[in-house]
Amino acid sequence: NWLLILGAASVILGILLIVAIGIRIFLGYPLEVGGRKYFVQSAQYFNNKGCFRFAFNGGNYLGIVGTMFLKGIFTFLWTLLFIIPGIIKSYAYRMVPYILADNPNIGARRAIELSNEMTRGHKFDMFILDLSFLGWYLLGMLALLIGVLFVHPYKDATEAELYLVLRSNAIESGK
């Protein structure tokens, strides 16, 4: 009797996990890239209307989903080597959504390669930047998690500015 309940619970949890992963891949990835586009457009004082919708338009969708999925697979595989290589590669691949926001048809391999090149020599600085938000997140959690809702867009805007600097450096160096 308990085995039947345990089996049914594990099947339900498995189905919920598959549904959650499917939502993350097919809805979350395009919205993430659209959000990155929104913050980059805002940082440059460009029109940011329709940024969240752009990933679902025409031929952008499959390229974005495929590239972000491949990025996730690569990060997962690097994490299997121990935690530290996964963390380092997560910083190396951090600019992929921004690159896709600028050029959604760049191709998965090229976007990942370009992100790797853009972040070369800057990963520790990016880590320090992340640490600078730790205090804000702790303060936001003290405010019954409401404050986190204000810190996260601030962090996203800061990362968009970081991308613009790294993109400018990459263009100047001919990448």
pLDDT in tens, the chain (175 residues): 899 999 999 999 999 999 999 999 999 999 999 999 999 999 999 988 889 888 998 789 999 999 999 999 999 999 999 899 999 999 999 999 999 999 998 999 999 999 999 999 999 999 999 999 999 999 988 887 888 888 999 999 999 999 999 999 999 998 7
- Lookup: tokens for 86: 């996964």
Please give the biggest Cα pair distance in the chain: 68
Report pLDDT for 141: 87
pTM: 0.90
What Cα–Cα distance (Å) separates residue 100 from each residue in 37, 55, 74, 107, 111?
A: 9, 9, 17, 9, 7
Q: For residue 25, what is the DSSP state?
A: I
Report pLDDT for 147: 83
Report pLDDT for 57: 84
Q: For residue 149, what is the DSSP state?
A: H
Half-sphere exposure of 103 (CA within 13 A, CB side): 11
Residue whose C-alpha is closest to residue 77's, from 112, 106, 104 = 112
Report pLDDT for 20: 97
